[in-house]
Amino acid sequence: YGLGMLSNSLQLGCDCLGEIRYFSGYGINSKGEARVMPNVVCTHEEDFGVLWKHTDWRFGDSYVESRRSRRFVISMFTTVGNYEYGLYYYFY
């Protein structure tokens, strides 16, 4: 089918959240002419829960440290026939 040629344009605040960057796709139509597909790939960073937490009992409960985990996401959506496919690539 060619998933790239069947890609859908993504919408701000709907398909990707947070600090977002959109990228256009480029391909050819059935006549061999170049076409631009706007906003078909988005990249963003998302929270992925607690990475680690530490309480130093020697200093009481007042000494607690924790760090959140983040992951970088590259995503796109494509429609093949009557089906929608979301493709996500996660980088930790």
Decide: 14 and 22 in contact? Cβ < 8 Å.
no
The model's pTM is: 0.77
**Tokens encoding 68:** 């959140």
Decide: 71 and 89 in contact? Cβ < 8 Å.
no
pLDDT per residue over 15-70, tens digit each? 888 788 999 999 888 888 999 999 999 999 989 999 999 888 887 667 889 999 99
DSSP codes, 29-59: -TTS-EEEEEEEEEEEEEEEEEEEEEE-GGG
Q: How far apart are CA 88 and CA 76, in angstroms?
A: 7
Decide: 69 and 92 in contact? Cβ < 8 Å.
yes
